[in-house]
A and B are shown apart, each in its own frame.
Chain A
Amino acid sequence: MSGNQSYYVPESSIWPIVGSIGMLLLFFGFGTLLVNQSNGDPTTTAWVLFTVGALTLIYMIVGWLRDVINESRSGLYDAQMDRSFRQGMAWFIFSEVAFFAALFGALFYIRVFAVPWLGGEGAKGAANMLWEGFEAQWPLINNPDNSAFKGPDSVIGAWGLPLLNTVLLVTSSITLTLSHKALMHDKRKPAINWLALTVLLGVVFLFFQVEEYIEAYAHLNLTLDSGIYGSLFFLMTGFHGLHVLLGGIILSVILVRLIKGHFSSHDHFGYEAGAWYWHFVDVVWIILFIFVYVV
């Protein structure tokens, strides 16, 4: 813990307040949009609020990160600042782990307790009186009340697109590691190529994921409102997909910075943060593949 003297404390910044205004507009717009849509009211104003909020947020993120990159490039940061950033990123990923843990917890509770109890198992079999003759099964095709929630015809099998996507994501983690190895030896050319390949694999993954959703909606009748299986399926794969998208955007920015020569073997925290995030998304997918698709 030496070198406090050079710890860089920025004087002031407009970005936090810009970001807060952006969030206010974005969420107020989104909320109005959802409520008005349910009530059959016009949604134009809501869309405007939402869009302006989203653009403000993007403006904030770009401006804030540009400041940070410029400060880093002009040598204002020391080793201690580097550790602060590492702590920040690590604990941010930990919060993401907690978020997905909640989703997996919900999946386990539904599969291990709620659905079997609805089917009459255990001391709580009384629940079976609500929908007599309901049979517990997983994936849940016939819901307790099929008129309120029309169950899916079938679900996505594990060994088609999901398996392919697993291979794609695992490969992308390997190519990312190869890129990092190359960067550690200051071999920029292979580092750039491997990283570009990683981003490409991520894009292909997302493409297949969209393909899978189209298949689910168009042919299998597996939708958000097809009961608990569809609910959990889209919640979990959907949030994972959003994280792949975010990770892909991060790595794309990192790729541009790598091409511009921002990183060296001893100074590349931004690169590493992006890589941590990508590996995290990869690990979530593997657990998801096992518990949502396979078993």
Chain B
Amino acid sequence: MSAVADAHAVDHDHHGPAKGIARWLFTTNHKDIGTMYLVFSFTMFLVGGAMAMLIRAELFEPGMQLIQPAFYNQMTTMHGLIMVFGAVMPAFVGLANWMIPLMVGAPDMALPRLNNWSFWLLVTGSLILVSTLFMDGGAPNFGWTFYAPLSTTYGPDSTTFFIFAIHILGISSIMGAINVIATIINMRAPGMTFMKMPMFVWTWLITAFLLIAVLPVLAGVVTMMLMDIHFGTAFFDAAGGGDPVLFQHVFWFFGHPEVYIMILPAFGVISQIIPAFSRKPLFGYTSMVYAVAAIAILSFLVWAHHMFTVGIPIAGELFFMYATMIIAVPTGVKIFNWISTMFRGSLTFETPMLFAIGFVVLFTVGGLSGVMLAIAPADFQYHDTYFVVAHFHYVLIPGAIYGIFAAVYYWLPKWSGRMYSEALGKTHFWLSFIGLNVAFFPMHFVGLAGMPRRYVDYPVQFANFNMISSIGAFLFGISQLLLVYIVYRAIRSGNKAPARPWDGAEGLEWTVPSPAPYHTFEQPPKVD
């Protein structure tokens, strides 16, 4: 690379982006990389969404309609894996890339080349994951939680590739998280003390810590799987002294913090947006920071609440039940603070605010069904039913996905320099809101009535609710295409956005022009 020799000259003479494909392949610019993350994750969201549509089409009526049971199992598995690892996590990394340097007044991420590698490894891992669909024996078909021995002794050949995809996606996420932490700790502008940082930055700092702490655990568990499959080890085989339950313990030690990895940055987004459209500072900033930290710490102590029915000792059941319920306390603090922020504010209801309020209301629904599931004796009834499916879709869609949508509408003017159509944005919100509730609320009922999850067919008494669910899911799915059009239209012909399009918005990102120039804050801003 001859760039090294004259890099010093280039250093103080930044020009715009490189031309053509080279810009995207070789870039070290946090805005380019953020854009790539967002576009890629939305593409994966549509791929995973198409799988969900297929699932709901099959479940539209009892009996077998469209797809074979074996393929159905692949669809539920890949839907979960793609949404978790390909859509939600990368979308938040994309937001982090775009916004954290702008919010803390840094010229870029701390380790820009590593940043690019994180993104391209995400693509690499996703390619391997999706390629399993085309392999002999089909894609992984054991559910996104890939419990042993279903995934080891009885898994298809493609399991090996799935394991390597997880390894690569894990490396990508760990490097991304290291970059986020290094940026937040080391790159803040003078005067930007920790307790002045925007909540989005705080939540990402804690999320990055969780990522670095638990993704290696996931790497460990899939490595043990690989060895059981190919090297004759007995980690998850009781015949050799191992234990299939060991898999569940290690997996959920990763898995529970993982669900907070997918929600904490959304908490951050909502904590930016609600004050902006309430025209009031965030109520209880300090308690918000401590609540996020408390949720993160508790997330390490509750993993076995996913395993109440597997046969853990009664002391374990009690510990994990109470520990899980305690999580409702810091979460309640956050809900209280968001509502208090809105209380007596000068509220307006632009699209980001609608998604934020939808978040607060519907995430609370998901949180409350979570408390129901945390009650160990009750969980024996709910476990592996559609009630669980309803619960985690209520926290992941109005939680994680609404958080991402709210962020996209809130910051799109900063990214593109254009305003989106408010009428279309509101349409997107209401269609999503109605579709989501029609799709998932009935699942509570069929779940409580005993309909098990992950089956291609179901008894006729669940037919009505399932048809309603499917109709809602189709509505929700189709309305997401509207988002593509809204963003396209905004970029093509939207009104020009001022530097601060939201009059109540605070923060350094609104001090730079819209669209944000290719390089920002090469001289650090002064924060009072």
Question: Which residue numbers of A lie inside 8 Å of B, CB to CB?
Answer: 1-2, 4-5, 7-17, 19-21, 23-24, 27-28, 30-31, 34-35, 37-39, 63-64, 67, 70-71, 74-76, 80, 83-85, 87-88, 91-92, 94-96, 98-99, 101-103, 105-106, 109-110, 113-115, 117-118, 122-124, 127, 130-131, 140, 143-145, 148-149, 223-225, 227-232, 234-235
- Top 5 A-B residue pairs of the complex, sorted by shortest distance between their CB atoms: A225-B232, A149-B240, A102-B220, A228-B241, A16-B117
Q: Which of B178, B241, B242, B313 has the most CB of A within 10 A?
A: B241
- Tell me the smallest distance from the CB of B213 to a CB of chain A, in Å: 5
Q: Which of B1, B128, B164, B234 has the most CB of A within 10 A?
A: B234
- Tell me the smallest distance from the CB of B351 to a CB of chain A, in Å: 34
- Decide if B481 is an interface residue (CB 8 Å cutoff): no
- Decide if B391 is an interface residue (CB 8 Å cutoff): no
The chain A residue sitting closest to B112, CB to CB, is: A9
**B243 surroundings in chain A (CB, below 8 A):** 109-110, 113-114, 117-118
Give Cα A38 to B229, complex, Å: 9
- Which of A98, A144, A229, A231 interacts with B216 by CB under 8 Å? A98
Question: If A10-B28, A143-B240, A149-B239 touch, does A4 touch B214 (CB 8 Å cutoff)?
Answer: no
- Check if A225 sits within 8 Å of B231, measured CB to CB: yes
Q: Which B residues, 208 to 232, have Cβ-Cβ distances below 8 Å to chain A?
A: 212-217, 219-221, 223-224, 226-227, 229-232
Q: Is the interface of A mostly helix, strand, loop or mixed?
A: helix
Total B residues in contact with A, Cβ cutoff 8 Å: 90
**A37 surroundings in chain B (CB, below 8 A):** 230
A and B contact pairs by CB, cutoff 8 A, 8 listed: A27-B161, A34-B230, A39-B157, A67-B1, A75-B8, A88-B114, A91-B178, A114-B243
- Check if A149 sits within 8 Å of B237, measured CB to CB: yes
The chain B residue sitting closest to A149, CB to CB, is: B240
- Tell me the smallest distance from the CB of A222 to a CB of chain B, in Å: 13
The chain A residue sitting closest to B30, CB to CB, is: A9
Give Cα A103 to B217, complex, Å: 8
- Tell me the smallest distance from the CB of A88 to a CB of chain B, in Å: 5
- Check if A71 sits within 8 Å of B186, measured CB to CB: no
- Which of A1, A23, A124, A235 interacts with B224 by CB under 8 Å? A235
- Check if A227 sits within 8 Å of B241, measured CB to CB: yes
- Check if A145 sits within 8 Å of B128, measured CB to CB: no
- Tell me the smallest distance from the CB of A70 to a CB of chain B, in Å: 5
Give Cα A114 to B238, complex, Å: 9
- Tell me the smallest distance from the CB of B85 to a CB of chain A, in Å: 15
Q: Which B residues, 346 to 399, have Cβ-Cβ distances below 8 Å to chain A?
A: none
**A interface footprint on B477-510 (CB within 8 Å = 1, 0 otherwise):** 0000000000000000000000000000000000
- Decide if B174 is an interface residue (CB 8 Å cutoff): yes
Give Cα A188 to B260, complex, Å: 49
- Which of B119, B168, B174, B221 interacts with A95 by CB under 8 Å? B174
- Decide if B297 is an interface residue (CB 8 Å cutoff): no
- Tell me the smallest distance from the CB of A215 to a CB of chain B, in Å: 19
Question: If A8-B11, A10-B112, A63-B1 touch, does A106 touch B220 (CB 8 Å cutoff)?
Answer: yes
**A118 surroundings in chain B (CB, below 8 A):** 238, 241, 243
- Decide if B22 is an interface residue (CB 8 Å cutoff): yes
- Check if A17 sits within 8 Å of B26, measured CB to CB: yes
Q: Is the interface of B mostly helix, strand, loop or mixed?
A: helix
- Check if A11 sits within 8 Å of B238, measured CB to CB: no
- Decide if B323 is an interface residue (CB 8 Å cutoff): no
Give Cα A71 to B10, complex, Å: 13
**A106 surroundings in chain B (CB, below 8 A):** 220, 224, 235, 246, 250
- Check if A99 sits within 8 Å of B216, measured CB to CB: yes
- Which of B8, B127, B192, B226 interacts with A24 by CB under 8 Å? B127
Give Cα A7 to B10, complex, Å: 13
Give Cα A14 to B182, complex, Å: 23
Q: Which of B178, B311, B522 has the most CB of A within 10 A?
A: B178
Give Cα A17 to B23, complex, Å: 12
- Check if B234 sits within 8 Å of A149, measured CB to CB: yes
The chain B residue sitting closest to A12, CB to CB, is: B26
- Which of B112, B174, B221, B234 interacts with A143 by CB under 8 Å? B234
- Check if A231 sits within 8 Å of B227, measured CB to CB: yes
Q: Name 18 extra pairs, CB < 8 A, besides A4-B106, A95-B174, A229-B241.
A: A5-B524, A8-B7, A8-B11, A9-B11, A12-B26, A13-B113, A16-B119, A17-B25, A19-B117, A20-B117, A24-B128, A31-B160, A35-B157, A87-B178, A95-B178, A95-B213, A224-B232, A235-B233
**A interface footprint on B108-122 (CB within 8 Å = 1, 0 otherwise):** 101111101101110
- Decide if B460 is an interface residue (CB 8 Å cutoff): no
**B235 surroundings in chain A (CB, below 8 A):** 106, 228, 231-232, 235
Give Cα A61 to B157, complex, Å: 31
Q: Which of A15, A23, A123, A232 has the most CB of B within 10 A?
A: A23
- Check if A64 sits within 8 Å of B113, measured CB to CB: yes
**B452 surroundings in chain A (CB, below 8 A):** none
- Check if A148 sits within 8 Å of B217, measured CB to CB: no
- Decide if B337 is an interface residue (CB 8 Å cutoff): no
- Decide if B189 is an interface residue (CB 8 Å cutoff): yes
- Check if A11 sits within 8 Å of B10, measured CB to CB: yes
- Check if B217 sits within 8 Å of A17, measured CB to CB: no
Give Cα A64 to B114, complex, Å: 10
- Decide if B405 is an interface residue (CB 8 Å cutoff): no
Give Cα A75 to B177, complex, Å: 27
- Which of A39, A74, A91, A223 interacts with B181 by CB under 8 Å? A91
**A interface footprint on B448-492 (CB within 8 Å = 1, 0 otherwise):** 000000000000000000000000000000000000000000000
**A115 surroundings in chain B (CB, below 8 A):** 241
- Which of A1, A9, A67, A230 interacts with B189 by CB under 8 Å? A1
Q: Which B residues, 128 to 183, have Cβ-Cβ distances below 8 Å to chain A?
A: 128, 157, 160-161, 163-164, 167-168, 174, 177-179, 181-182
Give Cα A117 to B242, complex, Å: 11
- Check if A95 sits within 8 Å of B216, measured CB to CB: yes
Question: If A1-B189, A12-B18, A15-B113 touch, does A114 touch B245 (CB 8 Å cutoff)?
Answer: yes
**B23 surroundings in chain A (CB, below 8 A):** 12
**A83 surroundings in chain B (CB, below 8 A):** 186
- Decide if B188 is an interface residue (CB 8 Å cutoff): yes
Question: If A13-B26, A14-B1, A228-B235 touch, does A2 touch B190 (CB 8 Å cutoff)?
Answer: yes
- Tell me the smallest distance from the CB of B193 to a CB of chain A, in Å: 10
The chain B residue sitting closest to A142, CB to CB, is: B241
Give Cα A99 to B217, complex, Å: 5
Give Cα A102 to B218, complex, Å: 9
- Tell me the smallest distance from the CB of B299 to a CB of chain A, in Å: 14
- Decide if B39 is an interface residue (CB 8 Å cutoff): no
- Check if B233 sits within 8 Å of A230, measured CB to CB: yes
- Check if B3 sits within 8 Å of A23, measured CB to CB: no
Give Cα A232 to B114, complex, Å: 33
Q: Which of A98, A123, A144 has the most CB of B within 10 A?
A: A98
Give Cα A91 to B88, complex, Å: 23
**B345 surroundings in chain A (CB, below 8 A):** none
- Tell me the smallest distance from the CB of A63 to a CB of chain B, in Å: 7
- Check if B212 sits within 8 Å of A91, measured CB to CB: yes
- Decide if B124 is an interface residue (CB 8 Å cutoff): yes
- Check if A94 sits within 8 Å of B524, measured CB to CB: no
- Check if B7 sits within 8 Å of A10, measured CB to CB: yes
- Check if A96 sits within 8 Å of B216, measured CB to CB: yes
